[in-house]
Structure 1
Amino acid sequence: MQTHEIIEPVNVTGSAVNTLKNIGRRHYRKLFFTLLLVIAENVTYLLYPLLAGFAINAIVAGKAWHAVFYALMVFTMWVIGAARRSLDTRTFARIYAELAVPVIVAQRRENHSHSTVAARVALSREFVDFFEKHLPVLITSLASITGAALMLLAIEFWSGIACLAVLVFFSFFLPGYTNKNEALFFRLNGRLEKEVGFVSSAPVASLSRHYRVLAGLRIRLSDREAMGYLSIGAVTAVLFAMTIFTMALRGGTDAGHIYSVMTYLWMFAMSLDDAPQLLEKYSQLKDIGKRVKTDPI
């Protein structure tokens, strides 16, 4: 029976980092304002647990107007978030419209098949998605992780130290985790590139095998992400237990302080929880960058 091999070596002259830099240089004004709003959002996120703690203590003390100030903070967060979401669509829809044509021209210049060109244009959308979706998440995660750890160092010192120890612990596993992801995306994207041409001529048995392999690769990536979440959850549970136990033994802590500490711990944990998905996206973009040329026309 005839077999169809759809994976071939990729052009390694491309680079995800170079492509992202080129997009950043060409559209730096648009990106500056969107990222400025992302940073403003993160400043409000970092301040709100502390202000919420003050509001709780003000409520307990019967200082109504001091407590109501927290509502103004909440409204400010939503105003900034609404402005960012409105600007995002306008910015990134136009960036992708300008990116697609150079991608098509670059792939045509190298005499790739129509299916490869179509697949690579679709893959190039991932670079725009990085700026639109994943870069804000990355900024938010880094700001929240470092901000929460620093805030905890200031208000609950040993919890802050524990957060820093968690970061050091997970850093040892990063190289192996990302290398495995890159190998899986190499195989996945290699198949996706040839899918259009493949499905038009391959026999049923080969098609079935093709989609079984695609499903298997996606399941393996998902399982790795799930294991990352589980590992983070286990370490986070220990972090919470240590902090709660320490505060309970010490006693005499006011409600506002407890709320602030617990919220900063959640901020740290939820931002750390984004790491598996962000690392997966990094591996995907690194492989796409070897395949897709986005040189200006």
Structure 2
Amino acid sequence: MLTESGTMQTPEKTAPLIPSRSAALTLKLLGRRHGKKLILTLLLVVAENVVYLLYPLLAGFAINAIIAGNALHAVFYAAMVFTMWALGAARRSVDTRTFARIYAELAVPVIVAQRLDKQSASTVAARVALSREFVDFFEKHLPVLITSLASISGAAIMLLVIELQTGLACLAILLFFACFLPGFTRKNEALYTRLNNRLEREVAFVSAAPSSSLTRHYRVLAGLRIRLSDREAIGYLSIGTVTALLFASTIFVMSARGGQEAGHIYSVMTYMWMFAMSLDDAPQLLEKYSQLKDIGKRVNTGLV
């Protein structure tokens, strides 16, 4: 609303958050209501990850079989590749049908619940849009989370088996980043709280505020998004630096040892890439977690 001086009051203040609600509770209620649909999609994700985890090991066997001239053993690798793509195609087909229907069922109780809480029309519209993040969690972020955890843990275990020193180094990297996790997450949550406060008031804000206030509003939004993006970029750079050291040390160790089979070298390098690429997902997943946690405090989905 406008102040007596004709300027728009800051939209940082918003309707009180709902302390009895949380992202975890909302996700639990959604999971309970749509359990069968979600189990089917998640089973496909798990099956896809099992095949993906076996890929470097089987590829190493295939390379050694090719070098030995055993084409029949090597061709099983092609069957594994087809299985991976078939599972991926099935998951993508099921995903759209499942999550489009879940969101369609979620939107109405969200609107009704916000009306009962006597929220303004702009807040209701913003929170309906924000509620989509709960469905996106199951559709996009949970599969990525499962894939990342499976790849990180699976790659580390496989490396412990086939290249012990590299596997131990992977565990040390995980412990190193775990030390910074709480502080990184808290800062993200604070930034998302400020960002979502402004987004909730945006409809009312743009309908009445003068151009100077609108300019300041969108500059603040841009600044918050840039700060979040910068934090994600710092996370990527940190992971990239540590990963480069992991590759360098492993290459030196294997070179000094000598006499390595081509398939073994390929498997080790591929599992390291799997570990590194899964760690790369961590900054974005942490950002989504912070966003979802704030949304869970403010959006009453009306689920019981």
One-letter amino acid of the counterpart of residue 6, structure 1: P
SS in 2 for 1:173: helix
What's the counterpart of residue 118 of structure 2? 111
Which 5+ residue runs of structure 1 have no aligned equivalent?
none
Which structure 2 residues correspond to residues 178-257 of structure 1 after superposition, within 5 A? 178-257=185-264
Cα displacement (A) at 1:5: 1.7
Give the aligned partner of residue 98 of structure 2: 91
| 1:174 corresponds to | 181
Q: Who is 2:137 aligned against?
A: 130
Encode CA deviations 1:37-94: one digit per residue, 9 max, x unaligned: 0000000010010000000001100011111110000000000000000000000000
Check if 1:296 corresponds to 2:303: yes
Query: In structure 1, what is the equivalent of residue 25 of structure 2?
Result: 18
Q: Secondary structure at the match of 2:208?
A: coil
Task: Give 5+ residue unaligned stretches, structure 2.
Answer: none
How much identity, in percent, do the aligned residues show? 76
The C-alpha deviation readout for 1:240-294, integer Å capped at 9, x for no partner, is: 0111100000000000000000000000000000000000000000000010011
**What's the offset of the Cα at 1:10?**
2.5
The number of residues matched between the two structures is 297
What amino acid does structure 2 have at the position aligned with 1:276?
P
Partner of 1:274: 281
Which digits, 9 at most, give the CA deviation of each residue in 1:13-46, with x for residues without a partner?
Answer: 2200000000000000000000000000000010
Q: Does residue 6 in structure 1 map to residue 11 in structure 2? A: yes
* Separation in 1, partners of 2:11, 2:212: 15
Deviations 1:73-127 (CA, angstroms, capped at 9, x unpaired):
0000000000000000000000000110110011000110000000000000000
SS in 2 for 1:286: helix
Give the match's secondary structure for 2:190: helix
Whole-Å Cα distance in 1 between the matches of residues 280 and 19 of structure 2? 32
Instruction: Provide the C-alpha distance between the structure 2 equivalents of 1:15 and 1:123, rounded to a whole number of angstroms.
Output: 14
Q: Is the 8 A contact 2:26 2:303 kept in 1?
A: no
Q: Is the 8 A contact 2:42 2:143 kept in 1?
A: yes
Match of 2:68 among 61, 64, 82: 61
Root mean square deviation, CA, Å: 0.8
- Tell me the equivalent position of 2:108: 101
On the 8 A contact 2:156/2:171 being kept in 1, the answer is yes
Aligned equivalents of 1:296, 1:190: Cα separation in 2? 23
Q: Cα distance, 1:213 vs. partner?
A: 0.2
- Structure 2 distance, partners of 1:83, 1:282, is 27
Q: Distance in 1 between matches of 2:21 and 2:198?
A: 19
- TM-score normalized by structure 1? 0.99
d(CA) in 1 for partners of 2:137, 2:260? 43
Within 5 Å, give how 1:32-47 maps onto structure 2: 32-47=39-54
CA distance in 2, matches of 1:293, 1:196: 19
Partners of 1:88 and 1:284 in 2: how far apart?
22
